Amino acid sequence: MLAITNKKHTNGLDYLDIETDLCKARIFLQGAQIDYFQPKGKPPLLWVSSADDYQPGNGIRGGIPICWPWFGMHPNPDFPQHGIARTRIWTLASIEMRAQQLELRFELALDEQDKRFWPHDSRVSVLFSLGDSLSVSLNNHNTGNRPISLTQALHSYFPIGDIHQLRASGFSGAKYIEFGAGPYPQEDDTVTFERETDRVYTDLGEVQWLHTPNGTIEVAREHSHSAVLWNPWIAKSQRLSRFNPDDYLGMVCLEAANVLDDGLTLAPGESHSLITHIRWWESH
């Protein structure tokens, strides 16, 4: 079966409700943001805070916000954090079924307001491939005659059951910056959580795993040597917008990225795709 239905959230945001033989999913046009993905017979693979009210103009606190064309704070403090893509309305450009994989491609047309922040000739699109796993590809193309530089991330939130029982593995050999300090070498393959964690990894292998009480989530990347590992813990959870004080117990972010020395500079005519692949490696 294949069912794709246009729907509107009670607060006004338009989204696609999707069901195939292999999965259910929901993708909002604002931000081209997927906030729900569940393979048939398995638990959901994405987490969203119950405190988020899906208000237009706010990125959804969960799922996979698209941070583009910069990650984090811009050098200009008047520019929005994490770029402009997650609060703009994207256009559904194509739908295609390949074997049992449903592919949906969205494009972002920049208006005059956007060009104040990003005055470059470029195209950006995102391709979702939905099956028994989820793949997201953020695609950039420099259409101008000058090089352009950017950073970006697929800010993926995962449901992990209990942060105290979470083990994240696949990190050995990398280095990381945390709270502006570092880089530190990652000596152990496994990371556990006992405090606020906000690590930007570089020189990172292409696959990591989140070992949770409900099973193990595999998070793989292509064309990316950097990733962000984040849990706000107790004090920051109380300051975050659209986030419950105890939400830190049930979520973690592990984000495919092109940041720090892994940031992009695209020559005229050059393209790049940041890709993440997410699946239940095993589920209980």
255 is catalytic: yes
Show the DSSP H helices in the chain as ranges.
112-117, 233-237
Which residues fall within 8 angstroms of residue 185, CB to CB, at 6 or more apart? 175
Task: Give me 139's structure tokens.
Answer: 């695609």
- The whole-angstrom separation of Cα 34 and Cα 27 is 4
Residues 6 or more apart in contact with residue 280 via CB below 8 angstroms: 39, 42, 43, 45, 133, 215, 216, 217, 218
Q: Is 242 among the annotated ligand-binding positions?
A: no
- Tell me whether the omega of the peptide bond preceding residue 69 falls within 30 degrees of 0, making it cis: yes
Active-site annotation holder among 82, 103, 141, 155: 155
The pair of three-digit structure tokens given for residue 166, joined into one six-digit string: 């979470």
Query: Annotated binding residue at 208?
Result: no
Q: Is 86 annotated as a binding residue?
A: yes
The number of C-alpha atoms within 13 Å of 139 and in the hemisphere containing its C-beta is 14
**Which residue in the list 255, 270, 272, 277 is annotated as catalytic?**
255
**What's the chain's Rg over C-alpha atoms?**
18
The question of whether 194 is a catalytic residue gets the answer no
Query: What is the per-residue burial (b if ≥16 Cβ within 10 Å, else e) of 208-228?
Result: bbbbbebebbbbbbeebbbbb
Which residue, 43, 244, 278, 252, is CA-closest to 157? 252
Catalytic residues: 155, 255
Which residue positions form the known binding site for substrate?
Answer: 61, 81, 86
**Binding site members:** 61, 81, 86
